[in-house]
Chains A and B, each alone.
Chain A
Amino acid sequence: MTAATQQSESTVGEQDVLAVAREQVLERGVGLTQDQVLQVLRLPGDRLQDLLALAHDVRMRWCGPEVEVEGIVSVKTGGCPEDCHFCSQSGLFPTPVRAAWLDIPGMVQAAKETAETGATEFCIVAAVRGPDKRLMSQVRDGINAIRESGNDINIACSLGMLTQEQVDELVEMGVHRYNHNLETARSHFPEVVTTHTWEERWETLRMVHEAGMEVCCGGIVGMGETDEQRAEFAVQLAELDPHEVPMNFLIPQAGTPYEHYETIEGPDALRIVAAYRLAMPRTMLRFAGGRELTLGDLGAEQGMLGGINAIIVGNYLTNLGRPAERDLSMLEDLRMPIKALSDTL
């Protein structure tokens, strides 16, 4: 895998990009190039509904109508040594978040709460550079306890950067998917994180992929990146070819360097969602943190009809979401079936 810098097909700039996308992405299943994504991101407001409709058609054609529902929990909160500028869990910023550990009964309960929503995915997350022996042991014990409770939900993990031995250990534990976000375009990453590199994250993703786990990798928009960098990130993710891309929208967290950033406008967020769908027609695209603040209820529905086919329900790691029942009701209203656990086995 190398960083993607594809040039667009010759049609860009000569034909309407949505007409090109209809033939290239919808009909042939070939994702947009970087230049084409940039064109989509710069479409005027009066083309937004056409864009969303096309992205929805692409999702239905190449992914189908089902929506994957997931719940997440933080097993180790706060006190992180890294300086990800968006994150309230960094120990380097004066945020109000205090370090906390979730015990094994708490993990079992969180997995139970998630399964009760009908979700098929439960992701165990830790705010760390990478897991130490204590954290790996906690995760192993937690997974065993979840299974012993009779809960057969799929378990994913997000524990930072891994060694090969840790990758192998997670596979052996039965972790079927690993989340590790690249967060933003490679060219923008040094503005967001200085304590490790984009390439270090890429290396963990490579090992996860080679070990046979599903790769979950996305990022956050609204961190001062340009449209060009949003397009760059879309093709970098497409080149990685992850199973899932979680899309987060920056929540300006108190005490972080991004505390005073404005959230992006709803139409821009929807434009990005649709553009990423057109860049990755077959990839699971998940609504993650910040959608409540950036898009609200109406925008969330538009996103579900604009390329999204997966969703985190309930609360996030340190922030609250809207109640799971409201998202499940929204999916019912939109006549979008929830992916069943039996479909994933």
Chain B
Amino acid sequence: MDELYCVHCGRTVEQCDAAACRNARTSLEPPRFCAQCARRMIVQVTPNGWTARCSRHGETASRSHQV
């Protein structure tokens, strides 16, 4: 599914400031906004992964946490 929104700032992909959202800092950030609807997600970081849950679109996870 195409990403419509930036997972770091929640703006549309077209409006996202790439310099602010694709850099060394954000490479160390889990996603915070749902890529489909831009809702803020509930994110749990664990020692070797993360899960992020959108109230509408469900849960996504790092590769290490995918089942």
A, B assembled together = yes
A residues whose Cβ falls under 8 Å from a Cβ of B: 71-74, 77, 96-100, 102, 106, 109-110, 113-114, 117, 251-252, 254, 292-293, 313-321, 323-324
Q: Using Cβ atoms and an 8 Å threshold, which residues of chain A touch B41?
A: 98
A contact residues around B15 at 8 Å (CB):
none
Whether A316 contacts B40 by the Cβ 8 Å rule is: no
**Residue in B32, B49, B50 whose beta carbon sits within 8 Å of that of A96 in the complex:** B32
Point out the residue from B28, B33, B40, B42 that lies within 8 Å of A319, measured CB to CB: B28
Chain A residue numbers with a CB within 8 Å of B25 are: 251-252, 293
Quick check: is B45 within 8 A (CB to CB) of the other chain?
A: yes
> Are B28 and A314 touching (Cβ within 8 A)?
no
Quote the shortest CB–CB distance from A84 to chain B (angstroms): 18
A320 touches B42 (CB 8 A): no
**CB-based contact B47/A318 at 8 Å:** no
Shortest CB distance A142–B (Å):
13
Residue in A74, A99, A114, A321 whose beta carbon sits within 8 Å of that of B28 in the complex: A321
- Within 8 Å of chain A (Cβ to Cβ): is B66? no
Q: Does B59 contact A (CB under 8 A)?
A: no
CB 8 Å contact bits of B25-36 with A (1 = contact, 0 = none):
101111011000
Main secondary structure of the interface of A (DSSP, over half): loop
Interface of B toward A, CB cutoff 8 Å: 8-10, 24-25, 27-30, 32-33, 40-50
Residues of the B chain whose Cβ atoms lie less than 8 Å from the Cβ of A319: 28-29, 45
Contact of A102 with B47 in the complex, beta carbons under 8 Å: no
How many pairs of A and B residues are in contact by the CB < 8 Å rule? 73
| Cβ contacts A to B, 6 pairs, < 8 Å | A96-B32, A96-B33, A113-B46, A114-B47, A315-B46, A315-B49
**By the criterion CB–CB under 8 Å, are A293 and B24 in contact?**
yes
Tell me the complex Cα distance, A237–B9, Å: 37
Given contacts A96-B40, A292-B28, contact A317 B10 (CB under 8 A): no
Provide the bound-state CA to CA distance between A71 and B28, in Å: 16
Instruction: Looking at the assembled complex, report how far the CB atom of B9 sits from the nearest CB atom of chain A, in whole angstroms.
Output: 8
Question: Contact: B47 with A98, CB < 8 Å?
Answer: no
Smallest CB-CB A-B distances: 10 pairs? A96-B32, A314-B47, A71-B47, A113-B47, A320-B28, A110-B46, A100-B42, A113-B48, A315-B45, A98-B42
Give the docked Cα–Cα distance between A13 and B50 (Å): 51
Known A98-B40, A252-B25, A318-B43: A323·B32 in contact at CB below 8 Å: no
Instruction: Apart from A77-B45, A316-B45, A318-B30, list 4 A-B contacts with CB within 8 A.
Output: A96-B8, A313-B47, A315-B49, A318-B43
Do residues B44 and A317 form an inter-chain contact, with CB atoms below 8 A?
no
A73 to B13, CA, bound (A): 31
Q: How far apart are A278's CB and chain B's nearest CB, in angstroms?
A: 30
Residue of B at shortest CB range from A101?
A: B44
CB closest chain-B residue, reference A114: B47
> Complex formed: what's the CA distance from A344 to B47 in Å?
22
Q: In the docked arrangement, what's the CA distance between A72 and B48, Å?
A: 10
Tell which of B25, B27, B28, B43 has the most Cβ of chain A within 10 Å. B28
